[in-house]
Amino acid sequence: MLYSVIVPVYNVEAYLRECVSSVRAQTYPDWELVLVDDGSTDSSPAICDELAEELGEQACGRRRATPLSRLIPTMPFAPTRLK
């Protein structure tokens, strides 16, 4: 069974490599890594791209997060307005 490890990324350039190293150190062989960048302003996006290239098939690459304001209208339980 394939497991997806989803890592939220926002301005974590100092910790991102350590985080991915921790995932890579796991003993379960069938996994993929999804790095979800939420508009980082540091070098996190470039590091994500580099790590995705290093991981090859185990990486899904970097995904840009969808802003919450765009998701809420599509949720069936969404409030009619945000405060």
Residue 79 lies in a domain: no
Q: SS3 sequence, the chain?
A: CCEEEEEEECCCCCCHHHHHHHHHCCCCCCEEEEEEECCCCCCHHHHHHHHHHHHHHHEEEEEECCCHHHHHHHCCCCCCCCC
* 10-57 per-position pLDDT tens digit: 899 999 999 999 999 999 988 888 888 888 889 998 998 898 888 887
Residue 83 lies in a domain: no
Residue 81 lies in a domain: no
CATH of the domain at 54: 3.90.550.10
Q: Which domain holds residue 26?
A: 3-74
Using pLDDT thresholds of 50, 70 and 90, give the confidence band for residue 61: low
| CB of 83 closer than 8 Å to CB of 52 | no
Number of domains within the chain: 1
Residue 42 lies in a domain: yes
